[in-house]
Amino acid sequence: MTVTTATANRSRIKRTSAVSGSPGQNIDVRLVARTIAQAAMEVLAGTRPVQQLSRSLDPNTYLSLQHRAALTREHMKISRGRNPLHASPTVRSVRACNISELICEASIVVAEEQRTRAVAMRLERMDGTWRVTALEIG
């Protein structure tokens, strides 16, 4: 997002967004990104089965998330006395950038009880629905 302000006249503010297209389409992709990020964090917390994301993730991304969730469960077994790693994740903000009409990248900030994390994803429009082809959880 670019913000330009005139120094002499503060009331003149020009804002351009990196997300192009119709406003309805932009809201749609942001809501999809928010929902998938929230669900992915819940999968890592162990409160949601990874199978619920099978339609939203491509096969490689699905297997990656499944593997990371298994590793997280193993870590939680070892450190039983501690608080859960991903307790009550809440999405704080979502930013989206259209690369083309069919590809969008999103960055999401997710707050947990002990820390704040970043989630980045690449979404591609396939058969009229957005599908995550890359997912990085920091």
**CATH code, domain carrying 44:** 3.10.450.50
pTM of the model: 0.74
> Which pLDDT score is estimated for 112?
84
The answer on pLDDT for 10 being more than 50 is: no
pLDDT bin (cut points 50, 70, 90) of residue 5 is very low
Residue 49 lies in a domain: yes
Rounded Cα distance between 109 and 112, Å, is: 10
On whether residue 57 sits in a domain, the answer given is: yes
Is residue 106's pLDDT more than 60? Answer: yes
Confidence of residue 115 (pLDDT cuts 50, 70, 90): confident
Report if residue 91 sits inside a domain.
yes
* pLDDT-derived band at 2, boundaries 50, 70, 90: very low
pLDDT number for residue 95: 95
Q: Is residue 101 part of a domain?
A: yes
Task: Give a yes or no: residue 12 inside a domain.
Answer: no
Per-residue pLDDT, 83: 54
Distance between CA 18 and CA 13 in Å, rounded?
A: 16
**Range of 62's domain?**
19-137
The answer to whether the beta carbons of residues 55 and 81 sit under 8 Å apart is no
Question: 21's torsion region: left (phi>0), alpha (psi -120 to 50) or beta?
Answer: left
Q: How many other C-beta atoms lie within 10 A of the C-beta of residue 123?
A: 25
pLDDT-derived band of residue 121, with 50, 70 and 90 as boundaries?
very high
Q: Hey, what are 90's tokens?
A: 């809440």
Please give the tally of structural domains in the chain: 1
| Dihedral, 129, 119, 103, 95 alpha carbons, nearest 10 | 100
pLDDT tens digits, 53-102? 999 999 999 999 999 988 887 777 776 655 555 567 889 999 999 999 99
In degrees, rounded to 5, the angle at the alpha carbon of residue 100 between the alpha carbons of residues 132 and 14 is: 110
Other beta carbons within 10 Å of 25: 15
- Average model confidence (pLDDT) across the chain: 79
